[in-house]
Amino acid sequence: MAPVTRKNVLRDQKSLNDYVRGVGLLKQRPSGRYTSEFNIPGPMEPISLYDIFVLWHILTGDSAIPPGGDPMRRNQAHRGPTFLPWHRRMLNLFEANLRFVLNDSAFALPYWDWTADGDSGSPFDAPVWRPGCMGGQGDPVSSGPFAFHANDPNTFSVHIETDAAGNPSQPDRPRGLVRDFGRSEPDGWPTLPTSGDMKAALTYRPSGPHPKPEDGYDTLTYDVDSDGFRSRVEGWLPASRPWMHNQVHMWVGGDMVPMSSPNDPVFYLHHCNVDRIWEARIERYDGRVYAPDMTAPADPYLGIRIDDQLGPPAAAGDTPRRMLGWVSSEHYVYDTLP
Amino acid sequence: MASATGPEKTEAVAATESLGSELAESVRPRGETPPAPAPSVSTARHEGHEIMVTTTYEVVVDGRPVTARLHVDDSGMVSSPGLPYHRFASALDAVRVLVSTYPGDFRGGT
């Protein structure tokens, strides 16, 4: 199969149009699952195929590594080295579902290069937020393809969210999407990452007398405080403030703040850009390296080592090593790498 | 379950439906008591000594205990599962943002 090309959402109208249409189709398509199966309080409601991805993200964020440990120290998808491969896997499956509902095997997820907006002063009316793209901010969002129209049964609406403890919940009734741009600290963050911030993460080099190549990716203790490209692009280090991935979630605000952040379709454009930056690091600096390797002890690192199964759930063969090599002439490429 | 990254169109939907099924099976059975909030445990070695610091926050808002837990990491920063991308220098700030992000969980107030 020829590779598809993931393009900048502002430079390819077809990718944008197809993405918007595909999201709407996934929202309408039932998954066969119901809220009661996930012990979500409230009435038993069907869950759409789109919202299965929201639940996947919530439940994975609560799955500790090691099992039985503390998901706030490290979980299957965040706060540790699987952050990049796990989200690459999520994007791939989401993209494959869009291909199916669009009946277009050439569809590729577009990305949002938020550093361009960061370099321009993080304007609230940047092209990506215009009605012809993702629409703007609001409670609910009232412009663009994901605006809420209370009397339209097919309007874009949020059905799965989390409570303050991070547990899956549902609103009293389906509600509109919420965005609240550029709130000040501590609620949010007033600016988006700049190209300078991205370059600092891309060119990070481990210190010390004899660093191994994989030390550039991640290091002991493989959590929010371990230095490396992963922790810097995820946004934990330097620890003085949020950076990169975390900073974007905090700047967009609203539904991008909780673990149910895939509710906002801009989540996938954001993570596609994170994935593009990872690929740039691989291509231009590190090569396909990852840490930890299989010499790390299973206790406490089972689930994050290079040949461990990514989860949940138990998909055959999806390991960090497999995701590391997924971008290729066989699967997908990016139009440009930073 | 089929590979989550399989290129086949029908495989993708089948994989997602299967994903939904596996996720449902992994959910704690209804009625099972959720685990008590875990303390944060930080460990380090220093000059041949093993250090362990255990931190538990007790948070009360409007006289009611808050079930959302706070976690403190090795650098002393505070985070909470309801705010997975935030990190706070102050536990009070973390609770302030929880209250404003989840107003439905903190009804009342003046």
Q: How many residues does chain A have?
A: 338
Print pLDDT tens along chain A (338 aa): 679 999 999 999 999 999 999 999 999 999 999 999 999 999 999 999 999 999 999 999 999 998 888 899 999 999 999 999 999 999 999 999 999 999 999 999 999 999 999 999 999 999 999 999 999 999 999 999 999 999 999 999 999 999 999 999 999 999 999 999 999 999 999 999 999 999 999 999 998 788 898 999 999 999 999 999 999 999 999 998 999 999 999 999 999 999 999 999 999 999 999 999 999 999 999 889 999 999 999 999 999 999 999 986 666 679 999 999 887 767 899 999 99
In a domain, A160, yes or no: no
Of A53, A72, A314, the CB nearest to B79: A72
In chain B, the residue whose alpha carbon lies closest to the alpha carbon of A247 is B85
Distance (Å) from the C-alpha of residue B17 to the closest C-alpha of chain A?
A: 6
List the domain range (segments joined by +) for residue A94: 4-132+181-334
- Sorted by where each begins, the domain ranges of chain B are 1-33, 40-105
In a domain, A170, yes or no: no
In a domain, A185, yes or no: yes
Contact partners, residue A336, CB within 8 Å, separation at least 6:
A8
Q: How many residues does chain B have?
A: 110
Q: How many domains does chain A have?
A: 1
Q: CB distance A316–B81 less than 8 Å?
A: no
Contact B62/A at CB under 8 A: no
Hey, which residues does B40 pair with through a beta bridge?
B55
In chain A, the residue whose alpha carbon lies closest to the alpha carbon of B8 is A96
Contact A28/B at CB under 8 A: no
> Which stretches of chain A are assigned E, i.e. beta strand?
4-6, 30-34, 46-48, 161-162, 168-169, 332-334
Contact B10/A at CB under 8 A: yes
- Model confidence over A200-214: pLDDT tens digits? 999 999 987 888 989
Q: Can you tell me the distance from the alpha carbon of A250 to that of A191, in angstroms, rounded to the nearest whole number?
A: 9
In a domain, A62, yes or no: yes
Q: Quick one: chain B helix, strand, coil %, rounded to 5?
A: 30, 25, 45
Q: CB distance B82–A163 less than 8 Å?
A: yes
Distance (Å) from the C-alpha of residue B42 to the closest C-alpha of chain A?
A: 10
- Model confidence over A269-305: pLDDT tens digits? 999 999 999 999 999 998 899 999 999 999 999 999 9
In a domain, A137, yes or no: no
In a domain, A84, yes or no: yes
CATH of the domain at A216: 1.10.1280.10
In chain B, the residue whose alpha carbon lies closest to the alpha carbon of A101 is B9
Judge contact between A181 and A137, C-beta under 8 A.
yes
Burial A191-208 (b: 16+ CB within 10 A, else e): ebbbeebbeebbebebee
